[in-house]
Structure 1
């Protein structure tokens, strides 16, 4: 009997939600379930939009195409793909996206991140694969209504592309 009570108590403790989480107020401006749902919706679309370097560079030449680098302004200034523009991911809002990308949400937007480069040195130090910036960038652009997003799929060295390095 005593073992049953101890087992029951241990199970209750292991499955209990911490008091802080139970008392946390609702925040209507943060929607984790909505983000999780959006992530599942975007996954198959994104998979069809990951393209090799040659196709990425060709698509960058299309009318109205933008290569968007969402790394920090400092990382962008230290080096980036030629022709890329910068809007740090942390600065995404409806207004800033429209200001930088324009009103046409169907224009081609090409994205890349640190994890597309084999250098693993500043300014493109690799991130943990599940946290690569391409993933949240793609999800957010889609969530903000952009429908023509293309992601670099390859891993290349910065020396193998037209790379703008800091002086």
Structure 2
């Protein structure tokens, strides 16, 4: 009897949730996307001077994908916040309706301070990498990344500190 139960259990189809998850989480697709985005990202690393000039043009938007808490503690002046964990097609469309609009990004690892609100992340999982890949996945092709390590206390950065 035990052998019969085990045989039936082994022949049963996988639970639906496992099949749904496999269709909704595509690691191979992510790897392909990352490979495709890599050469574009390499061409879109900009200096602080260019980053600031682009931001001042009025056409570009500075997107800070750090947590809302980190953003509230300090950010580059003029930045808007949408945490990476909140990226969806709808959320991005609400703040970046025009996918052709240039987007400027930065993250904790752009700063030499290595303290809150910009404590460094492990380099392979730097938020800039994930943000760039995610923006590309959602159809944003005109993304530029701050390509320098800077001190957020440098007045040239235009860092907005938390109030209080």
Instruction: State the TM-score bracket (shorter-chain normalisation).
Output: 0.7 to 0.9
Which residue number in structure 2 is paired with residue 28 of structure 1?
23
Greater mean alpha carbon deviation, residues 63-72 or residues 141-150: 63-72
**1:100 CA displacement:** 1.2
Say whether 1:137 aligns with 2:117: no
CA RMSD of aligned residues (A): 1.2
Mapping of residues 13-162 of structure 1, within 5 Å: 25-26=18-19, 27-102=22-97, 104-160=98-154, 161-162=157-158
Structure 1: stretches of 5+ with no match in the other structure? 1-22
Which residue number in structure 2 is paired with residue 19 of structure 1?
none
Greater mean alpha carbon deviation, residues 53-62 or residues 29-38: 53-62
**1:73 CA displacement:** 0.2
How far apart, CA to CA, are the structure 1 residues paired with 2:123 and 2:26? 24
CA deviation vs aligned residue, 1:119-158 (integer Å, no higher than 9, x gap): 0010000011111100010000001000110000000000
**1:61 CA displacement:** 1.8
**1:62 CA displacement:** 2.5
How far apart, CA to CA, are the structure 2 residues paired with 1:64 and 1:58? 11
How far apart, CA to CA, are the structure 1 residues paired with 2:66 and 2:88? 15
